[in-house]
Each structure stands twice: as structure tokens, then as C-alpha cells.
């Protein structure tokens, strides 16, 4: 029963995340006006706005203008539902579930917005740092000290890399948005996870960069946004961080 509740809750939150993804980069209100079709501007009735279910019933088409509804909507709802379910399995319905679900939801929005617009909205990452610090006072997984050190290490280390890169190559490599994102990750997950996140995201980011260069040619100038890789590293750290660190200490002994 509670499994189903966690999934339904996930789809509802995912539906809200879709609104954030669409409106935050345009600096529009996320509560008003209500949902409307991006093509014909017709308001979407509540019965056409049920996460996942409506998309299937409408067969991916708007009721009024029959234009295709982006597959992104059910995809984000599905991913958010999965995140909610896995977090429920790990933490049950607890404060830890609540805070980590907020954290993962923020990472989902950041990832998609960064992919489309190459920006990480401050309105998510900066309050995120605060929420992470507050969480450390209320949940058993992390101490306030660890959260503070994580924030400083996350913000500081990337700031250092970004400054070095800029002085070496005379152009901006990593945005300030990445710095604030990693500070937020540090606030939620602590300093060990920050190191793990940097390692994982650099590794996966480099491999992706090489593949893109091979496919598109060496002169390809489009900078790949780093936010999605940081988010990926953070999610892996959240679920498997302890295991990876334990494995590393065992192997390196
Ligand atoms: Zn329409």
C-alpha cells in the first residue's frame, strides 16, 4: 500500500517539477497561471492533468489542438516517481525521505534546465544549501559539522578549479552555477560525498566529452553543461557512497 503511495506522490511532485523546468528559466511564476498547452494556450483541465495517466489517455496529444505533448512530461514524472519509490525503500516515510526527496527533485530540475539553457538557477541551489544545513540538524544520516565542511569543500574546491582554469585558458570553463550546486551537494551529503561526486562527475563527464568530440569532430565548440554530471555523481553518492568508499578503503589497504 505505502509503495503505491510513494509512487503516486512521486508522479505528483514530478508534474510540479515539469512546471518548474518550463517556467524557472523564463522567470515566470510557478503557481500562476495554471497549466496550459504551450501551443494553443488552452488551460488544461484537472482531469487532463493527472500525471502519467492523462498522457496515456490522451495518447500524447492536446485535447484542443491535438498537437503532440512533449514526451519529457511523462518521462520526468516517471523518473521522479522512481526516485520517490527508491527513497521510500531506503528511508521509509521519515524526515530523511522528505529531505532527500527534496534534494533529488532539485537535482532533476537542475539537470534538465542546465541541459536546455546551460544555467543552474540560483533560486534552487542557494536555498538548497540552507535546506541541506537544516536537514543535518534533523536527520540521523549527517551531522551539522559534516554538512558545513561539505558546503565549504564543495563551494571552495570548484571555485578553485574554476579560477585556475580561467587564469590558465583565459576563458570561463566552469560556471558559478556549478560551484553553488556542489556546495548544495556538500550540504546534503557531507564532505566525503563531495570528493566522490567530483571524481565520478569528472570521470563520466570526460568520457562523454571524448565521445561527443569523436562524433562531432574536434572543433566542436559547444560546452557540455557540467550540472547533469554533478547531479549524477551526487545521486550515486547518495545511494552507493558508503559502499564505494568502503570498497576503496578495502582495495587500497
Ligand atoms: Zn493545445
pLDDT band at 242 (very low <50, low <70, confident <90, very high): confident
Q: 212-240: per-residue pLDDT in tens?
A: 888 877 666 666 788 999 999 999 999 98
Q: Which residues neighbour ligand 1 (ion) by CB within 5 Å?
A: 37, 39-40, 62, 64-65
Asked whether the beta carbons of 101 and 157 are under 8 A apart, the reply is no
Q: 19-65: per-residue pLDDT in tens?
A: 999 888 888 888 777 888 878 888 888 888 888 888 888 888 888 88
Where residue 78 falls (left for φ over 0; alpha for ψ -120 to 50; beta otherwise) is alpha
What's the gap in Å between 15 CA and the centre of ligand 1?
18
Evaluate if pTM is beyond 0.75.
Answer: yes
DSSP string, 33-66: S--B-TTT-PBPPGGG-STTHHHHHTTTB-TTT-
Read off the C-alpha cell for 207. 568520457
What's the gap in Å between 70 CA and the centre of ligand 1?
11
Average pLDDT of the chain is 89
Q: Averaged over 202-221, what is the pLDDT?
A: 81
What's the gap in Å between 7 CA and the centre of ligand 1?
28
- Name the 3-class secondary structure at 63: coil
- Name the 3-class secondary structure at 68: strand
pLDDT at 228: 95
Q: 155-186: per-residue pLDDT in tens?
A: 988 778 778 877 877 766 666 889 999 999 99
| Angle (deg, nearest 10), helices 122-138 and 144-169 | 150
What's the gap in Å between 33 CA and the centre of ligand 1?
16
What's the gap in Å between 105 CA and the centre of ligand 1?
27
What's the gap in Å between 49 CA and the centre of ligand 1?
13
What's the gap in Å between 63 CA and the centre of ligand 1?
7
CA 35, CA 55: separation in Å to the nearest integer? Answer: 14
What's the gap in Å between 111 CA and the centre of ligand 1?
26
Amino acid at each position: 500500500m505505502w509503495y503505491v503511495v510513494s509512487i503516486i506522490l512521486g508522479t505528483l511532485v514530478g508534474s510540479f517539477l515539469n512546471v518548474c523546468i518550463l517556467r524557472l528559466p523564463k522567470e515566470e511564476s510557478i503557481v500562476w497561471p495554471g497549466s496550459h498547452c504551450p501551443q494553443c494556450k488552452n488551460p488544461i483541465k484537472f482531469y487532463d492533468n493527472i500525471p502519467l495517466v492523462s498522457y496515456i489517455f490522451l495518447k500524447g496529444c492536446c485535447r484542443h489542438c491535438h498537437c503532440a505533448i512533449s514526451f519529457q512530461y511523462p518521462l520526468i514524472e516517471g523518473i521522479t516517481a522512481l526516485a520517490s519509490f527508491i527513497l521510500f525503500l531506503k528511508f521509509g516515510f521519515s524526515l530523511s525521505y522528505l529531505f532527500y526527496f527534496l534534494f533529488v527533485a532539485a537535482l532533476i530540475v537542475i539537470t534538465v534546465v542546465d541541459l536546455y539553457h546551460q544555467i543552474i538557477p540560483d533560486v534552487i541551489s542557494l536555498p538548497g544549501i540552507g535546506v541541506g544545513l537544516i536537514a543535518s540538524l534533523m536527520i540521523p544520516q549527517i551531522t551539522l559539522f559534516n554538512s558545513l565542511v561539505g558546503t565549504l569543500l564543495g563551494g571552495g574546491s570548484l571555485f578553485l578549479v574554476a579560477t585556475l582554469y580561467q587564469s590558465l585558458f583565459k576563458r570561463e570553463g566552469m560556471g558559478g552555477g556549478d560551484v553553488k550546486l556542489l556546495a548544495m551537494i556538500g550540504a546534503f551529503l557531507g564532505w566525503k560525498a563531495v570528493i566522490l561526486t567530483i571524481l565520478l562527475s569528472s570521470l563520466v563527464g570526460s568520457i562523454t566529452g571524448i565521445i561527443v568530440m569523436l562524433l562531432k569532430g574536434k572543433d566542436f565548440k559547444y560546452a557540455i553543461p557540467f550540472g547533469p554530471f554533478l547531479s549524477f555523481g551526487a545521486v550515486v553518492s547518495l545511494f552507493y557512497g558508503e559502499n564505494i568508499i568502503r570498497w576503496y578503503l578495502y582495495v587500497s589497504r
